[in-house]
Structure formats: C-alpha cells, structure tokens
Chain A
Amino acid sequence: MATGFTVRSAKKLLKFMDHSEYIQAILQTIDAAKINQQRYRILFDPVNGSAVDVGKKLFEKLGKVVLINGQMGRKPPHLAVN
C-alpha cells in the first residue's frame, strides 16, 4: 500500500490517479500474477452503478473481463419492475 498519502484536493487526486492508487492497494492484498496465470474470463456485473469504471479497471488486471450492466446511471434490469 502506498504511504505518505495526503489529500489537498481529493477530487483532483482521483482524476489524476484514475482510481489507480485504490486498485493498487487492492491488488497488493492478493497474488495477481497467480490469478493471471489461470487466464480467467471474469464476468463483471456492476448493475449500472458507481463501480462500473473502477471495477472494470480492477478486474482487467486479473483476466479478460466480460462486462454486463455497465451503463452507469441506467436503471438496472432487476429493478425495472419497481
């Protein structure tokens, strides 16, 4: 995990970092190389929510991503009845 993190403007930082620091922190908790060796296809369903971008970027580090319901802000199909 990165050290010496200071936030003067977290928004600017996020735009600059493009989620990369957060993703890196997650990857450091697992053996990404070992997972990659398995050549997984990863089905990722963020149900059109806020994790579309960061989740896709994270899972792309671990295999080939198949994304469904990846339109951020669109009403998810399982809620269409409400």
Chain B
Amino acid sequence: MFVDNFFGTSGIRGVIGKEIDEKFSYKIGLALGKYIKRGKALIAYDPRPGAKEISEALIKGLKKTKVEVTNLEILPTPELTWYQVKGDYHLGVSVTGSHLPWNMIGIIPTLKDGDGIYGQIGEKITQIYGSL
C-alpha cells in the first residue's frame, strides 16, 4: 500500500508484527539515517513486549547508514528527549506503546532541538523509505 506520510502527529503508530515489525523498523532506521546524513542518535524503548526487538532492528538500520547510535534501553520519552537535546544529538527515537492498546507500538523520532517529525519532513522520510 502506498502511503504519502508514515508520520502522524507523534511518530508512527501501528500494530506490533503487522504495521510495525522488525523489517519495517529496520527500513525506518535506514530512512531516518539517510535523512539526517550520519550524525549521532539516542534510542530508548518502553518495557512493552516487542519494543526491544523493534528498537534493535531500528538501530541496525541507523548503523547501516553510519549513524553513531547510543542505546539507552528502557527510558521514558521525555527523559530521552532531555538527554538528546542536552547532548546535542541529531536524532532521538523512542519506541513506545505509550497509552495505546497492548498489541500496538510507536516509533517516535525527534530531530535536533527535540522537534517531532511530521508534515513535509515526514513525507520526505517516507519517500526515502519507498526508495529503499
């Protein structure tokens, strides 16, 4: 299915193993890495089943594009973003289900200064994903 923009108001959300599986997450990692063009990234995830595996796939994709990744493992999204901005990272990604049903997860990236990805930037990253 062709999608213009994977990114909603706060990242990408979907059912674990259906819309968001490890293959998808790996490719999102590749697309994010190609968008930021190297640089350094902080990653964290929540304790929900599947979050760790999806994070690891995302990290694999980012590393493939030569992004320097630090995996903080389980950490709340605001704390991750705080460290990201304070540490001057180009990218932060929180893999979290947040308030969603238990079988769902989100990939929530923030760019430098902690800004979310949506609109034209989301479309651009979705295009990169489509070209992979």
A residues engaging B (CB < 8 A)?
A: 5-7, 9-11, 14, 19, 22, 25, 48-51, 54-55, 72-73, 75, 79, 82
Contacts of B71 on A, CB cut-off 8 Å? 11
B49-89 residues with Cβ-Cβ distance < 8 A to A are 49, 70-77, 79, 82-83, 86-87, 89
CB of B40, distance to nearest CB on chain A (Å): 9
Q: How far is the CB of B94 from chain A (nearest CB, A)?
A: 9
B38 CB, nearest partner CB in chain A, Å: 17
The answer for the CA separation of A54 and B82 in the assembled complex, in Å, is: 13
Which residues of B come within 8 Å of A, CB atoms? 42, 44-49, 70-77, 79, 82-83, 86-87, 89, 96, 101-103
12 contacting pairs across A/B (C-beta < 8 A): A5-B87, A7-B70, A11-B72, A14-B75, A22-B79, A22-B83, A25-B82, A49-B76, A50-B44, A50-B46, A50-B74, A50-B96
Of all chain B residues, which has the CB nearest A74?
Answer: B47
Contacts of A49 in B (CB 8 A): 46-47, 76
Minimum C-beta distance from A55 to chain B (A):
8
Taking CB atoms, residues of chain B closer than 8 Å to A6 are 87
Residue among A5, A50, A75 making CB contact with B76, cutoff 8 Å? A50
Minimum CB–CB distance for A60 against chain B, Å: 16
A79 to B76, Cβ gap below 8 A? Answer: no
Contact B76 A51 (CB under 8 A): yes
Check B47–A72 contact: CB distance below 8 A.
yes
The reply to whether B47 and A10 contact each other, CB–CB distance below 8 Å, is no
Cα-based distance from A27 to B69 in the complex (angstroms): 29
A9 to B42, CA, bound (A): 10
Having A19-B79, A22-B79, A79-B101, one finds 7 other A-B pairs with CB under 8 Å, namely: A7-B89, A9-B70, A49-B46, A50-B44, A50-B76, A55-B76, A79-B102
